[in-house]
Amino acid sequence: MTYEEYLKGVADANRYAIAYYVHDELLVPDAEYDRLYHSLEAFETEHPDKKAADSPTLKVGGTALTAFQEVTHRVPLLSLGDIFNEEELDAFTARIVESTGQSALEFCAEVKLDGLAVSIIYEKGFLTRAATRGDSRVGEDITENVKTIRAVPLRLMGENIPDYLDVRGEVFMPRDGFEAWNARARLTGGKVFANPRNAAAGSLRQLDPRVTASRPLTFNAYYIGECSSPLPDTQYARLQYVKGLGIPVNPEARVVHGFEGLKDFYAEIGRKRASLNYDIDGVVLKVNSIPLQESLGFTSRVPRWAIAYKFPPEEEITELLGVDFQVGRTGAITPVARLKSVYVGGATVSNATLHNADEIERLDIHIGDFVIVRRAGDVIPQIAGVVRERRPATAVKVTFPTHCPVCGSEVERLEGEAVTRCTGGLVCPAQLKRSLSHFVSRDAMDIENLGDAIVEALVDNKKVSSVADLYTLSVDDFAYLPLDSLTATGKQRVVGTAVARKIVANIDASRTIPLNRFIYALGIPMVGQATALTLAKHFASLDEVRRASRQELQRLPDVGAVVAEAIAGFFEERHNLDVIERLTLKPEDFILGQGLTLVPLSQTQAATLNAEALAGRTYVLTGTLPHFERSQVKEWLQSLGAKVAGSVSKKTYAVVAGDAAGSKLTKAEELGVPVMDEEELIALLKDNGLDPFADA
Ligand code: 9MJ
């Protein structure tokens, strides 16, 4: 690579990054970007003296500092006044109408990002300094840390780059990055953050920029503190100007009119709040015209032309009443916090996950503690922290049980594992109930009418001690099963003959089942529908899957060492083999005298499938399709290498929508994600060698 080629490579890489982070456009595939990046790295290793000041390789972070330097902001960072209701909004707009004499006011309405305010200075187009807000006049120099944020360009882009620019905005951690970071930290014993704001603050306050570089931070600009070039004369146009220089701005910002426009914006963002990929704590409303802003000026502390209109919080304090330990299908014991009900993040919360034993230790949580509950987006409620000062003297430390709360077997925690498990296996009624529920579920054996209440009753009345026993049950076994609930007249409710007949017929109908569904139904740890399908496609029979070595398993797509270990380990357990044998051989005690028949994938499917055809694409299914079940469509798409997700995002490749499609379709339309109907889906499948009508 020549020096000229290197410089062009740097410019290209930066152009791709700005397209991605600022304009949400992918100009080249990831692999192409990676190749370019590595070639730049290689050149820099050979010619360290020629390394460009805006090379993307600088994003990994340079040498560590010993302390942060103070910096005095040439123009102080603004803080905003807060309002909480419509009356206060009315007062805010009325004041502006009165002092400007204008009634048709235009505002720039923005979301209020909940991160850390920073000032970033560009000189002659290059990022030269970044600082925290501090006390608004004096902050800390965090230049090296901010330089590692992928969304922050090291060099501005475009034609008329100002000599000097001080741009302000928020550094924050997106929710997906925060969740992924914490999930990993919980597995590996790393640093767990209470919320994305703390995560962003903690990540920026690192003396070693390489640590900051490892955290999924991003940035949105919302204000210009100072600029040497003439600027547009509205806030909204200034945001577009900043965006044009290659600095990301939040896409929700827009111009609205008058009190009604502000009210609508607040309501609309409020509805959208849970589905955004970042925390916001309100909206920021700014008079759009800069000359009007200047005429309005400041009160002693805050501008008269802008206000923060806050949302109800996504964190609240409540009391920990107790901790339950739930036992899952694989014996994993999950602590669940029972809370005094509290309204938070748009819902009443009375339970929150405590994840595992480490989390209980980390929080040093006591029954009777006041805890901070966080409920943001569609993630299950979490305990973000404990308010230590409010711990009552009577509080009792929570300890993890040494024995299973359901069956009394010892619990064990394997080396390097985050979870603690009950060792009782299917002797444990809790595990048996969950195994049964999974076994009969729609994507597994699809045995209808056999809901959780009946499964509970079967186990509690000792009608079954493994999933194989299902096939030995008669109509009478079900008909007189007592259910937990009472009838309206206070009598014991039972399943009844009509439902019992249906269940037995449905059990019977499940005796012939595609191999992939059966593998999934077994509930092998780490084996979901996609992996089950991979196994069924690769191996002709269950026997072959059972006998496959760890090495053989690892050669399959998407099967790593951990999954291979889980599969092989499952088939090494005596009681699992016993259950499978009873299910698939034809023991006399089975009603109708017959076990299961496992059908391999049909010839048409197995022979023509190109398992990579749709690799890298994520589809979302919604609504009712005229001819096919969603679970069937999901299998087909997965068999062609696609992923099928439950919710729509910018990364969704397409949404397959049937009748009565709801919010997912709306979301797809909002995000501009392509939508296909069943006919288009059939064409797609056929184009890739899969005829959906062949198996019908
Ligand atoms: C936040 N936090 O998202 C401002 N902010 O403008 C937005 N903060 C702000 N604007 C001037 N969108 C001072 C603060």
CA 49 to chain centre: 42
**Predicted confidence (pLDDT) at residue 391 exceeds the cutoff of 70:** yes
Atom index in ligand 1 nearest the CA of residue 250 equals: 12
The structure tokens listed for 681 are 């889906």
Compute the average pLDDT of residues 648-660.
89
Catalytic residue among 8, 50, 59, 112: 112
Compute the average pLDDT of residues 231-239.
98
**Predicted confidence (pLDDT) at residue 45 exceeds the cutoff of 70:** yes
- 3-class SS of residue 618: strand
CA distance 601 to 603: 6
| pLDDT score at 558 | 79
Q: Which residue has the tokens 């409020």?
A: 270
Cβ neighbours around 599 below 10 Å, total: 14
Q: Whose CA is nearest to atom 10 of ligand 1?
A: 222
Q: What is the pLDDT of residues 93-139, one digit of tens each?
A: 999 999 999 888 999 999 999 999 999 999 999 999 999 999 999 99
**Predicted confidence (pLDDT) at residue 146 exceeds the cutoff of 90:** yes
| pLDDT score at 687 | 80
Q: How confident is the model at residue 555 (pLDDT cuts 50, 70, 90)?
A: very high
Ligand 1 centroid, distance to 253 Cα (angstroms): 11
* Whether 524 contacts 546, CB under 8 Å: no
| pLDDT score at 502 | 96
| pLDDT score at 602 | 56
Atom index in ligand 1 nearest the CA of residue 77 equals: 13
Q: Which of 73, 80, 168, 254 to mutate to test the pocket of ligand 1 (most atoms within 8 A of CB)?
A: 80
Q: Whose CA is nearest to atom 13 of ligand 1?
A: 78
| pLDDT score at 429 | 93
| pLDDT score at 414 | 84
Comparing 575 with 155, the larger pLDDT belongs to 155
Compute the average pLDDT of residues 560-580.
89
CA distance 513 to 176: 37
**Predicted confidence (pLDDT) at residue 364 exceeds the cutoff of 90:** yes
Ligand 1 centroid, distance to 224 Cα (angstroms): 11
Ligand 1 centroid, distance to 154 Cα (angstroms): 22
The structure tokens listed for 534 are 């991979």
Of 19-23, 107-111, 126-130, 686-690, least confident by mean pLDDT is 686-690
At residue 273, what is the residue type?
Answer: R
Using CB atoms within 10 A of its CB, is residue 226 exposed (0-12), middle (13-18) or buried (19+)? middle
At residue 306, what is the residue type?
Answer: A
Compute the average pLDDT of residues 573-602.
75
| pLDDT score at 188 | 83
| pLDDT score at 435 | 93
The structure tokens listed for 187 are 């597995």
Q: How confident is the model at residue 654 (pLDDT cuts 50, 70, 90)?
A: very high
**Predicted confidence (pLDDT) at residue 608 exceeds the cutoff of 70:** no
Ligand 1 centroid, distance to 101 Cα (angstroms): 26
Q: Whose CA is nearest to atom 8 of ligand 1?
A: 112
Q: What is the pLDDT of residues 613-650, one digit of tens each?
A: 888 889 999 988 888 888 888 888 887 888 888 888 88
Of 403-412, 455-464, 487-496, least confident by mean pLDDT is 487-496
Backbone torsions φ then ψ of 422, nearest 5 degrees: -75, 135
Q: Which of 223, 250, 252, 286 to mutate to test the pocket of ligand 1 (most atoms within 8 A of CB)?
A: 223
The structure tokens listed for 392 are 């009552």
CA distance 695 to 592: 27
* Whether 431 contacts 329, CB under 8 Å: yes
Q: Which of 112, 172, 284 to mutate to test the pocket of ligand 1 (most atoms within 8 A of CB)?
A: 284
Using CB atoms within 10 A of its CB, is residue 231 exposed (0-12), middle (13-18) or buried (19+)? middle
| pLDDT score at 603 | 46
Quote the percentage of the chain above a pLDDT of 70.
97
CA distance 102 to 24: 37
Compute the average pLDDT of residues 227-246.
97
Q: How confident is the model at residue 609 (pLDDT cuts 50, 70, 90)?
A: low
The structure tokens listed for 466 are 């493994």
The DSSP string of 458-520 is HHHTTS-SSGGGGGG--HHHHHTPEEEEEPTTSPEEE--HHHHHHHHHHHHHTTEEEHHHHHH
Q: Whose CA is nearest to atom 1 of ligand 1?
A: 112
* Whether 424 contacts 397, CB under 8 Å: no
Ligand 1 centroid, distance to 153 Cα (angstroms): 20
Beta bridge partners of 324: 336
The pairs formed by 460-467 with CB atoms below 8 angstroms and a separation of 24 or more are 460/429, 464/432, 464/436, 465/426, 465/432, 466/426, 466/432, 466/575, 466/578, 466/579, 466/582, 467/435, 467/436, 467/439, 467/521, 467/579, 467/583
Q: What is the pLDDT of residues 424-449, one digit of tens each?
A: 887 899 999 999 999 999 889 999 99
The structure tokens listed for 338 are 């029972």
| pLDDT score at 242 | 98
Of 194-208, 538-552, 655-669, least confident by mean pLDDT is 655-669
**Predicted confidence (pLDDT) at residue 696 exceeds the cutoff of 60:** no
- Alpha-helical runs (H) found in 245-349: 258-272, 290-296
Q: Is 147 designated active site?
A: no
CA distance 262 to 309: 10
| pLDDT score at 186 | 87
| pLDDT score at 694 | 64
Compute the average pLDDT of residues 529-545.
88
| pLDDT score at 353 | 94
**Predicted confidence (pLDDT) at residue 604 exceeds the cutoff of 70:** no
Give the chain's mean pLDDT. 91
Instruction: Supply the pTM of this predicted model.
Output: 0.78
Comparing 638 with 587, the larger pLDDT belongs to 638
Cβ neighbours around 498 below 10 Å, total: 11
**Predicted confidence (pLDDT) at residue 607 exceeds the cutoff of 60:** no
* Whether 565 contacts 552, CB under 8 Å: no
Q: What is the pLDDT of residues 248-280, one digit of tens each?
A: 999 999 999 999 999 999 999 999 998 899 999
Q: What DSSP element (H or E) covers 41?
A: helix 30-46
Ligand 1 centroid, distance to 222 Cα (angstroms): 6
Of 59-63, 239-243, 360-364, least confident by mean pLDDT is 59-63
Q: Whose CA is nearest to atom 4 of ligand 1?
A: 222
| pLDDT score at 73 | 97
Helix 529-538 × helix 630-639 angle, to 10°:
60
Compute the average pLDDT of residues 157-168.
95
The structure tokens listed for 62 are 């340079």
| pLDDT score at 581 | 87
CA 164 to chain centre: 39
Write the Ramachandran bin of 81: left for phi over 0, alpha for psi from -120 to 50, otherwise beta.
beta
CA distance 662 to 192: 36
- Nearest Cα to Cα of residue 591 among 514, 522, 500: 500
Q: How confident is the model at residue 159 (pLDDT cuts 50, 70, 90)?
A: confident
Lining ligand 1 with CB less than 6 A are 78, 80, 110, 112-113, 170, 222-223, 284, 306
Comparing 584 with 325, the larger pLDDT belongs to 325
Compute the average pLDDT of residues 149-165.
96
* Whether 148 contacts 134, CB under 8 Å: no
| pLDDT score at 681 | 92
Q: Which residue has the tokens 């949105």?
A: 220
| pLDDT score at 290 | 97
Of 128-142, 351-365, 673-687, least confident by mean pLDDT is 673-687
* Whether 381 contacts 352, CB under 8 Å: yes
Quote the percentage of the chain above a pLDDT of 90.
69
**Predicted confidence (pLDDT) at residue 587 exceeds the cutoff of 70:** no
The DSSP string of 48-96 is GGG--TT-GGGGG--PPPSSPPEEE-SSPPP--EEE-SHHHHHHHHHHH
